[in-house]
Chain A
Amino acid sequence: MSRSITVQAARRWYWQRITAMAMALFVAIHLFVMVYAIQGGLSAAEVLARTRGNMLWAVFYAAFVVLVAVHASIGIRNVLVEWAGLKDGAAGWASRLLGLVLLVMGLRAVWAVTLGGAA
């Protein structure tokens, strides 16, 4: 295995750990707000009332989406190599594609509940 490939793998491991640490905080905040805010019952209208037009939530969940995309794509890459028997290159492209899909879908959802027009 060439040195640069080794370095990339070591960096992927690093970024997966860093995103995991950050997400632990994000998940805690997310869950706390859910438990705290839904005491009157969970409804779409109530969620939208909290998030719509709120840039703080937009930034929070946009960052969350980025973390998930990075973390999940690295993990899926490893799963594809170890369990699905994909070659490293193919697994790399498949995981990048997955990361992009997660990023687009996630950011679209964030946009919809904060800045989107239609309820």
Chain B
Amino acid sequence: MSDSSTLYVEVWRGGDQGGYQSFEVPRRASQTVLDVVTHIQRHQDATLSYRYACRVGMCGSCAMRVNGVARWTCRTHVSNVCTDGRLQLAPLANLPVVKDLVVNMDSFFEKMQAAHGRFVGEHTRYEPVAAVKPDSPERQEADAGIECIGCGVCYSSCDVVSWRPDYLGPAALNRAWTLVNDVRDIDGLRLAAVAGDAGCHSCHTQGSCTVRCPKHLSPTAGISGLKRMAARAAMRGELDAEPSAGRR
């Protein structure tokens, strides 16, 4: 595309009750959507609010909806998402808007905690490092989901979150799945925390999270694993049993 052409960009302004504002941005070679937003903020309207940090797809802070689809904007080239010279930029869905393109991600991260998304080990730094075979099935399962950067693209894309706001969502459940497959982890209550109607069993396997995950992870597969594991534990009476000694 030539440098002289112009992009017509609609950007969400305000909070949950805001509206779109139009901007014209010069088209550049290898331009990312984040470049477009930054151009607007630096040259046209300094009051535009948006988030970014690393610009290289590591930090997970620049996610927003581009033409209706949640994406990481720093790694999204305009040429891949814009066919008619128009872009519509909106804040992530399923999260309250703070201002413009910035959402309040409290509930997203609170659900990570609710899903027991943190590692609980029993060894201290003074003990030998645990040996986990790279080709063991558990390690392979954990490996498949471990690269999540917490950008919220899956959460924004999930219809189940939209219609059941207490649903933990793909990112938190994916995190839980990597941890239940971590043989060093001793949190015996995690499976109970992610089971049931606010947890993995509400997933409709629509796969939007998997399609849109910028890291090409498959939360859908992890959630299916949790469903089977948790349902099996529930039928055996292990899900409501107190965790065994030494576990918490």
A contact residues around B230 at 8 Å (CB): 10
Interface size on A, residues (CB 8 A): 19
Known: A1-B196, A3-B192, A5-B196. A10 touches B239 (CB 8 A): yes
Question: Are A6 and B199 interface neighbours, CB within 8 A?
Answer: yes
Which of A48-56, A65-73, A80-88, A103-111 contacts its partner?
A: A80-88
Q: Which residue of B198, B231, B233, B239 is within 8 Å of A1 (Cβ)?
A: B198
Residue interface bits B203-231, CB-to-A below 8 A is 1, else 0 = 00000000000000000000000010011
B45 proximal to A (CB < 8 A): no
B235 proximal to A (CB < 8 A): yes
A contact residues around B199 at 8 Å (CB): 6, 9
Question: Are A10 and B164 interface neighbours, CB within 8 A?
Answer: no
CB distance from A83 to the nearest CB of B (A): 7
Known: A14-B231, A14-B235, A81-B164. A9 touches B240 (CB 8 A): no
A contact residues around B160 at 8 Å (CB): 82
- Give me the interface of A with B, judged by CB distance under 8 Å: 1, 3-14, 17, 78, 81-83, 88
- Give me the interface of B with A, judged by CB distance under 8 Å: 160, 163-164, 166, 192, 195-199, 201-202, 227, 230-235, 239-240
Can you name 20 A-B residue pairings with CB atoms under 8 Å?
Answer: A1-B196, A1-B198, A3-B239, A3-B240, A6-B196, A7-B192, A7-B196, A7-B239, A10-B231, A10-B233, A11-B231, A11-B234, A11-B235, A13-B201, A13-B231, A78-B202, A82-B160, A82-B164, A82-B202, A88-B197
